[in-house]
Amino acid sequence: MIKIFGHPASTCTRKVLFTLHETNTPYELVLVDFAKNEHKQEPHLSRQPFGKIPALDDDGFALYESRAMARYLDGKSGGALTPTDLKQRAEMEKWISIETENFSGNAMKFVAHHIFKSEQTPETMEKAAKGLALACSVLEKNLANKTFLVGDKLTIADITYAPYIDYAMATPAKEIFAKYPHFVAWWNRVSERPAWHKALGR
């Protein structure tokens, strides 16, 4: 059985759990307690040399980095979350890149400041707000005539955004999101999925 070494509160672990539940893949979650700094110690550093979570073990095949793990798990289960059309697959990869480079970092500044009480400077927060608004405006335009980021079906791209939006919704970032109705409608569709609720343990 696939083992996931992570923590259910971790954004990247949630990404992987969401994928596992969408693909109906059996797994075992092995808790790595980051409150005790276990992710920075052995044996976890042997699984993830950068000291982050999660890591995966599939009968001896070791993998880390949550987006790579999501792609692997989807491919192993038959690839339902990855478009077969070459152009649509490229679109999926584009939206994953935008999440990585333009969205999640800005969203996590709000999460760090307002939820984890890791105080950010006013300049940092202003920059994060502008960056998040720009990313949302780009997403908004794309979602004006689509159910999900790449069309009518959920893909790995939609999954990668979910943990960051979920946390950011409990911060003033929610006010930025509210300015983009197609974005909000899309998030509602994603967050209502049973697999996401299972990933959150609800």
Asked whether residue 105 falls in the same domain as residue 156, the answer is: yes
pLDDT, position 34: 84
One domain, residues 18 and 104:
no
Residuewise pLDDT in 10s, the chain (202 residues): 999 999 999 999 999 999 999 999 999 999 999 889 999 999 999 999 999 999 999 999 999 999 999 999 999 999 999 999 999 999 999 999 999 999 999 999 999 999 988 899 999 999 999 999 999 999 999 999 999 999 999 999 999 999 999 999 999 999 999 999 999 999 999 999 999 999 999 7
72 with 98, same domain: the answer is no
State the maximum Cα–Cα separation within the chain, in Å, rounded to a whole number. Answer: 48
Strand pairing of 61-64 and 55-58? Answer: antiparallel
Residue-wise pLDDT for 159-199, tens only, equals 999 999 999 999 999 999 999 999 999 999 999 999 999 99
Structurally, how many domains does the chain consist of? 2
- Could you check whether the bond before residue 172 is cis, i.e. omega within 30 degrees of 0? no
Q: Which residues contact 178 (CB under 8 A, 6 or more apart)?
A: 184
Judgement on whether residues 93 and 56 belong to the same structural domain of the protein: no
- 90-95 long-range CB contacts below 8 Å, 24 or more apart? 91/149, 91/150, 91/157, 92/149, 92/150, 92/155, 92/156, 92/157, 93/157, 95/142, 95/149, 95/150, 95/157, 95/160
In the chain, the amino acid numbered 19 is T
pLDDT of residue 187: 98
Domain's final residue, options 77, 107, 137: 77
CB 164 within 8 A of CB 11: yes
Q: State the pTM of this model.
A: 0.96
* Same domain flag for 49 and 18: yes
Domain span holding position 68: 2-77
Please give the helix or strand (H or E) that residue 26 lies within, else none.
none
- Looking at the fold, whether 124 and 187 belong to one and the same domain comes out as yes
Q: Is 115 helix (H, G, I), strand (E, B) or coil?
A: coil
71 lies in the same domain as 167 = no
Q: How far apart are CA 163 and CA 168, in angstroms?
A: 9
Out of 77, 111, 127, pick the residue that ends a domain. Answer: 77
Do 173 and 73 lie in one domain? The reply is no
66 and 136 part of one domain: no
**Structure confidence at residue 80 (pLDDT):** 97
